[in-house]
Amino acid sequence: MRISPMLANKLRARVPVLPAAAAIFPPGTSFTAPVLSVPDGDGLDVWRSGKRVKIRLYGCDAPEYGQYYARQAWFFLRSLIWGKPVTCQIMDKDVYGRLVCDCYGNSQHSFSLLLILYGYAWHYDYYAPDAHHLRDAQRLAKLNRRGLWQRDNPTPPWHFRHSKKQKEHFHAQ
């Protein structure tokens, strides 16, 4: 899948200046690498340039562990990519140091699109507001009650993480 030049410019404008990592992993470049592990429903670890690189899938947010449908999302992503090389286009770098990438396997569709379309993840509109194809995929998943949309009002992961932090803060006092 290609991104429009306008979206690419917006994404580049959003990327902070990164010291050494910017030279190794500049936004807009793509690479193919073998998958080492799948830690959750929206992330993977690959082997690139002689080291393990953590990747966060662009534009989607899968349920967190302890949340409804988290295990199914992890199994689905794992079934798409396990033991196969993936091609990733670097979009950004997140605050945890992971590369945010649009990744593909043998299909012409990105893993993010497939996760959202089959109801294993939400479109993360906050970080991918111009990804209309992901928004439309989520609408289709909701309409067809696929995956996590089998429930009437599933809790998005960003709300789940926020409520978990509030509980931890409350108990720490």
Catalytic residue among 52, 71, 78, 98, which?
98
> Catalytic residue at 64?
yes
Task: Answer whether 137's CB lies under 8 Å from 146's CB.
Answer: no
* Residue 48 designated active-site: no
Q: How far apart are CA 42 and CA 1, in angstroms?
A: 18
In the set 12, 48, 64, 135, the catalytic residue is: 64
Q: What is the dihedral of CA 133, 138, 141, 146, to 10 degrees?
A: 130
- Let me know if 168 is a catalytic residue: no
Of the residues 12, 14, 52, 56, only one is catalytic, namely 56
Helix locations, 43-154, DSSP H: 70-81, 111-117, 132-143
Characterize the bridge pairing of strands 99-104 and 30-40.
unpaired
Q: Give me the active site residues, please.
A: 56, 64, 98
